[in-house]
Amino acid sequence: MKTIINIKADRDIKEKAGRTAKEMGLPLSTVVNAFLRQFIAEKRVVFSAPLKPSKKLEKILRETNRAIANGKNIIGPFYSAEDMMKSLKS
């Protein structure tokens, strides 16, 4: 037996989800039902966001990559934790 669920969703999210489902050849209701089945089976909800570094971290990564490319600030390799600790303390 089928039933109807009325939910509130951001219009933009609904439209993007509908387009994405359509690109995959699925009706949006199939996607929602799959999510609900998973929710029932696992009794959990997973919220995730793509990992994206902050502006500050992006700057540090660019500077680090530039230093590595120029052969600067490179130490190691270390073959033991003791070797690494000696280097850090020196």
Percentage above 70 pLDDT, the chain: 100
Domain count across the chain: 2
pLDDT score of 23 = 96
In-domain check, residue 3: no
pTM over 0.85: no
Structural domain for 85, as ranges: 55-89
The candidate with the shortest Cα–Cα distance to 21, out of 34, 3, 8, 6, is 34
Using alpha carbons only, give the angle 54, 65, 69 rounded to the nearest 5 degrees.
170
* Confidence label for 77 from pLDDT (cuts 50, 70 and 90): confident
38 and 60 both lie in a single domain: no
In-domain check, residue 72: yes
Cα–Cα distance, 2 to 52 (Å, whole number): 40
Q: What is the pLDDT of residues 18-59, one digit of tens each?
A: 999 999 999 999 999 999 999 999 999 988 887 888 999 999
pLDDT score of 69 = 92
Name residue 62's amino acid: R
